[in-house]
């Protein structure tokens, strides 16, 4: 029969506690890393949706050019990156790009109102529908990104998990903001 002294018992308890803490630390660290990956994935989803929307709006501008050359050229100038989103673009840049595209879409709506025959153009109608679809994809990507950001930020600011977040230098992530008024303006009517 083994006899464990009081000191030995304390040692076993402390050892056990240490193992539990280490396992907990690893668990939290892994979940933070996984969530960070999800945030990155969601951000690339936003990039894809923004690019898709940009392509659609470009096509739309080409269609409207024949009807209102001056207006569409003015609209084209609004867009900062005429060749799409640069690889090193920050989230703020993307928000700005998003805003610019909203302006273009609003502009197109104004042009359409001026030229009723454009409204009846089949290519235009199809593009309008495609743009509305890309808009929905973009909103979904934005919401997924923000939902993931909320999850990771909740862990980062909540004690005791915040200790692990600080230890691995995990910082709060920024939300992808879209002004409500801007989103309302680009709604395509059918």
**Residues binding another protein (CB under 8 A):** 38, 42, 45, 126, 129, 132-133, 136-137, 139-141, 143-144, 146-147, 150-151, 190
Task: Pick between residue 55 and residue 73 the one whose CB is nearest to another protein.
Answer: 55
Q: How far is CA 63 from CA 20, 34, 73, 110, 122, in A?
A: 64, 44, 12, 14, 11
Task: Pick between residue 90 and residue 150 the one whose CB is nearest to another protein.
Answer: 150
| Closest approach of another protein to the CB of residue 129, in Å | 6
| Closest approach of another protein to the CB of residue 62, in Å | 21
| Closest approach of another protein to the CB of residue 77, in Å | 30
169 φ, ψ (degrees, to nearest 5)? 55, 40
| Closest approach of another protein to the CB of residue 172, in Å | 18
Task: Pick between residue 78 and residue 91 the one whose CB is nearest to another protein.
Answer: 91
What whole-number distance in Å separates Cα of residue 44 and Cα of residue 139? 13
Task: Pick between residue 71 and residue 135 the one whose CB is nearest to another protein.
Answer: 135
Task: Pick between residue 49 and residue 79 the one whose CB is nearest to another protein.
Answer: 49
| Closest approach of another protein to the CB of residue 48, in Å | 10
């Amino acid at each position: 029969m083994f006899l464990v002294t009081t000191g030995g018992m304390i040692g076993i308890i402390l050892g056990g506690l240490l193992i539990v803490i280490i396992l907990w630390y690893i668990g939290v660290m892994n979940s933070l890393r996984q969530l960070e990956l999800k945030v990155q994935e969601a951000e690339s989803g936003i990039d894809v949706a923004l690019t898709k929307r940009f392509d659609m709006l470009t096509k739309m501008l080409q269609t409207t050019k024949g009807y209102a050359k001056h207006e569409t050229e003015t609209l084209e100038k609004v867009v900062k990156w005429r060749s799409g989103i640069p690889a090193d673009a920050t989230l703020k840049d993307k928000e700005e790009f998003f805003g610019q595209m909203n302006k273009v879409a609003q502009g197109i709506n104004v042009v359409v109102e001026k030229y009723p025959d454009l409204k009846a153009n089949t290519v235009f109608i199809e593009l309008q529908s495609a743009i509305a679809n890309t808009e929905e994809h973009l909103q979904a990507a934005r919401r997924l990104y923000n939902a993931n950001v909320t999850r990771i930020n909740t862990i980062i600011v909540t004690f005791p998990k915040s200790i692990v977040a600080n230890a691995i230098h995990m910082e709060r992530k920024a939300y992808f903001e879209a002004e409500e008024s801007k989103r309302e303006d680009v709604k395509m009517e059918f």
